[in-house]
A and B are shown apart, each in its own frame.
Chain A
Amino acid sequence: MSKADIFNRIRGGLHVPSDDSARRAAVQARLDARKRNLIPQRAQLPADELLRLFIDMADEAAAELIELHSAAELAGAIENWAQENGIAHLVTASDEQINNLEWSGNGTLVREERVAQVGDEASLTSAFCGIAETGTLMLYSGEESPTTLNFLPDTHLVVLRASTIVGPYEDAWQMLRQATGGSMPRTVNLITGPSRSADIEQKLQMGAHGPRRLVIFLLHGE
């Protein structure tokens, strides 16, 4: 009932003619075209400059960046990071990239593949891509990448392959559509730095309800 009522009011207000095929065509055309609106120059740079921009913007957003030459260094770097930061337990996603890590097993880091729980110290997930424009990570949910890993633990470790860094958000949407065959994953997370709030006296405090730290392992050779 409400829906018809609302639509009647909208159509009445717009003085829509009984034949609204022209309006329908305009809407369909816009939906189909997925036209890009103005994209800032900042996001339209050569690849090497985009990489630089991503690093600068992520840094500005208070993400921590650890740059590595290749995936081969990743497991060791994570183990080192854990040791240095006194992290004994890591909950991980189970995507291919993470499954293929060759952990040394040295040290005391315990790993577990599961969804996150209250009290988890740190999680490890893979980013689908990086967006240089604002130093943003795109992650999405799936069987191997539970969403809670991105929000519940105190520290969120994210693996990002440099080759997946794009300039504007629009390129990321296009990559996403290609990767998922056009259907939207249940959730897509655009993450730019760690959680924060300025709700008390407008003074910025890091680490509100999401991760207090966001650590990006950036793989240059990948």
Chain B
Amino acid sequence: MQIKSPEFKQNARIALEDVNLQRALGNLKAGFPQKRAAAVARLPEFDQLRDEARDLKNHILEHLDLYLEEFEKNVVANGGTVHWCRTAEDARKTILEICQDQDAKTVTKGKSMVTEEIDLNDYLEKNGVTPVETDLGEYILQLREDHPSHIIAPAIHLNIEDVADAFHEHHKRPKSNDPAHLMREAREMLRKHFVAADVGITGANFLVAETGSTIICTNEGNGDLTQTLPKTHIVVSSIEKVVPTLEDMTLFLRLLARSATGQEFTVYNTLSSGPRRPGDQDGPENFHVVLVDNGRSDMVGSEFQEMLRCIRCSACMNHCPVYGAVGGHSYGWVYPGPMGSVLTPQMVGIENAGLLPNASTFCGKCEEVCPVRIPLPKLMRHWRDKEYEKHLSPTSVRSGLSVWSFFATRPKLYRLFASVGNRFLRLKAGKKGRTSKLPLASAWTDHRDMPAPSGKTFMQQWKEQNR
């Protein structure tokens, strides 16, 4: 996927003026946050579970290699195969090779952000394998040659008319604006793909080391059909998703749905442990797990390690006022919102994604709702530190800061500077108490007035009062 993160500001400006996008984003605001709040209110232990989940994730990350080793051992014992992929390219190649071994013509896919991250669909297509997305949102996007703008509600940027148009064009059926009708149509259209596919590819929400199982959590059931019907099931997962035991997985399941959609539990939580067993009448004959690193092992032990606790619930973006204003595509790559602003610089380079960790007021709402208590503002600030260290921040910012720091570390000069500024602003405002235009401050005054100081600086007045 082309990286458009450097154009974040332009993307955001366009998004803010896009009436249809803004209408669609309105659905988000009224949905997930309220449902999450209701679900949290029903579970008094929620915050305690978050503490335990944070601690458990920390333990896992400190022993990540060993839990992965245990996971692999048990996948193999179950008759499956584990493939280790250091880079996105390794992962793409590995998956294609498995498909080619099966002479696969079509693969069905369950929803998986890591396959977006490694840009799998384009690659398969170019190599003669047709991927078919089966999650309703992803299916709509595939018809529109579009990309997800949200990690669990991929088509949140669309309105029903967009879906109706896409279906009408591709299905050649009479147009309908009824969501129930559209869903029935998608169900019908995808049935034949589910059955015809040679390979099914899903992601994984967790990997259970104890049993060598992978688990997917879905509401639609598409992931289950994707992994049960074809001859070969490929699970694509990033390495940090491993958990020790079923009990440990359960801790995260209690948090995941509530944090994500505000459901008590996702409709289908399905564990897969290897291929079809002797006597089984259905299920895949081959079971592959493709483990993707793609920069994550470099985060272990770094100031960004805590990001690896992420369970991809989307609560951070659902509650983010910036995401809510500009939508996911503005971020210009796979992962949007606060979690994306931390992950994207790691994966595509801070030189490409520096605007993302800066596009936050540090309001802290993301950290407040994160089920594994990732200090997202702190991690975004770490990216700003790196950017500053590497001299990547804009010159205007750097020079402005150094002038300001020069004064801030010299109290007497600072006083003088403040009183001059104070006087200037008061003069500019005259008797109106505010000004609507200020030199060099159009970013402020284009949208709002600048209140004028109500009198001399406090320090001046305090001194004059001789206190």
Contact = CB atoms under 8 A, between A and B. Distances in A.
Interface stretch (A96-104, A158-166, A208-216): A208-216
Interface string A124-135: 000000000111
Interface string A1-37: 0110111011111111000100110110011001111
A118 B189 CA distance: 12
B281 A143 contact: yes
A208 B220 contact: yes
A15 to B, nearest CB: 7
A146 B283 CA distance: 8
Interface stretch (B120-128, B152-160, B370-378): B152-160
Contacts of A5: 86
Contacts of A189: 224, 268-271
A93 to B, nearest CB: 10
Given A134-B265, A210-B224, A199 B70 contact: no
A69 to B, nearest CB: 29
A74 interface: no
A38 B43 CA distance: 12
Given A186-B274, A196-B220, A207-B187, A147 B283 contact: yes
A41 interface: yes
Interface residues of A, number: 77
Nearest to A147: B228
Interface string B172-213: 000000011011101100111011000000000000011111
Contacts, number: 265
19 contacts: A10-B65, A13-B299, A118-B192, A141-B277, A142-B280, A148-B228, A168-B250, A184-B211, A186-B78, A187-B270, A187-B283, A189-B268, A198-B31, A202-B153, A205-B180, A208-B136, A208-B187, A208-B221, A210-B268
Contact of B70 (A3, A27, A200): A27
B213 A31 contact: no
Interface of A: 2-3, 5-7, 9-16, 20, 23-24, 26-27, 30-31, 34-38, 40-42, 57, 60-61, 114-115, 118, 133-136, 141-143, 146-148, 150-152, 168-170, 173, 184-203, 205, 207-211
Interface of B: 24, 27-28, 30-32, 43-45, 48-49, 52, 56, 59, 62-68, 70, 78, 84-86, 90, 134-137, 140, 153-156, 158-160, 163, 179-180, 182-184, 186-187, 190-192, 194-195, 209-213, 219-222, 224-225, 228-229, 239, 244-248, 250-251, 253-254, 261, 264-277, 279-283, 291, 293, 297-302, 305
A165 B344 CA distance: 44
Given A10-B64, A184-B78, A184-B273, A198 B265 contact: no
Contacts of B274: 186
A61 B267 CA distance: 8
Given A6-B297, A191-B267, 13 more contacts: A9-B293, A13-B297, A13-B299, A23-B62, A35-B245, A41-B44, A143-B280, A148-B229, A148-B282, A186-B274, A192-B266, A196-B220, A202-B31
Contacts of B70: 27, 31
A202 B28 contact: yes
B247 A146 contact: no
Contacts of B190: 209
B280 A209 contact: no
A191 B268 contact: yes
B247 A186 contact: no
Contacts of B154: 199
In the A-B complex, list the 5 residue pairs whose CB atoms are closest, starting with the nearest.
A210-B221, A13-B301, A199-B137, A208-B220, A9-B297
A38 B281 contact: no
A42 B184 CA distance: 37
Nearest to B79: A186
A204 to B, nearest CB: 9
Given A30-B59, A200-B155, A38 B136 contact: no
A55 to B, nearest CB: 14
Contacts of A34: 210, 245-247
Given A170-B247, A201-B24, A38 B48 contact: yes
B228 A151 contact: yes
A196 B211 CA distance: 29
B273 A185 contact: yes
A190 B263 CA distance: 15
A152 B224 CA distance: 9
Contacts of B275: 186
A188 B250 CA distance: 14
A136 B268 CA distance: 9
Contacts of A36: 247
Given A5-B86, A201-B179, A210-B268, A38 B283 contact: no
Nearest to A23: B63
Contacts of A9: 293, 297-298, 300
